[in-house]
Structure 1
């Protein structure tokens, strides 16, 4: 009996270490994503380390509370409370990056309320980015609001 309890505890610890800790976006009505619903390369639990001249992969679950005909990327870095959009991604359509719940088949837009989707994308950490500590804001939505949104602490080096 003690063995099984120890094994379960170990499994929980391993799962929590591999998850990225995310925070709710302050001005978003989208639900708070669970750490297991977000995967970002080079992102341990406490802080993402984004290295210049590399590519960062992101995957997150999206369960919209209403239908979305279109979905746009709202990905920016927040430095001293000033949002700085990531070039080439901010404001672009997220529809080509929407997959089924398992993340295997591209389904695009529209998105139906209550259904589970997977957003998969990658972006370059450009060599011109300064080496700073900042907050990364990652939102998907339209002019009426977000389907999903989270923020994470990060460091560009």
Structure 2
């Protein structure tokens, strides 16, 4: 089940290490951080991270395992 967890800054073109518009064939490094609060339970799960264009099409979509202890 997907549970949305919005980033503090939803605009990937601001304060993320990349500049827009993106150019085809180029490499970019996107930087973001999220706080891990003490209230979060110890859990292992898969995180799906998506960056979308203004028209809601995916720029990138990755799934990776996460463990909170």
TM-score (norm 2): 0.73
Segments of structure 2 that go 5 or more residues without pairing to the other structure are none
Q: Number of aligned pairs?
A: 67
Deviations 1:3-40 (A, max 9, x none): xxxxxxxxxxxxxxxxxxxxxxxxxxxxxxxxxxxxxx
Q: For 1:140 and 1:98, how far apart are their aligned partners in 2?
A: 14
Greater fraction helix: 1
Q: CA deviation at 1:98?
A: 3.5
Segments of structure 1 that go 5 or more residues without pairing to the other structure are 1-81, 100-107
Q: For 1:98 and 1:141, how far apart are their aligned partners in 2?
A: 16
1:36 corresponding residue in structure 2: none
Higher relative contact order (CA 8 A, sep 6+): 1
Greater fraction strand: 1
Bigger radius of gyration among the two: 1
TM-score (norm 1): 0.37
Give RMSD over aligned pairs: 2.1
1:15 corresponding residue in structure 2: none
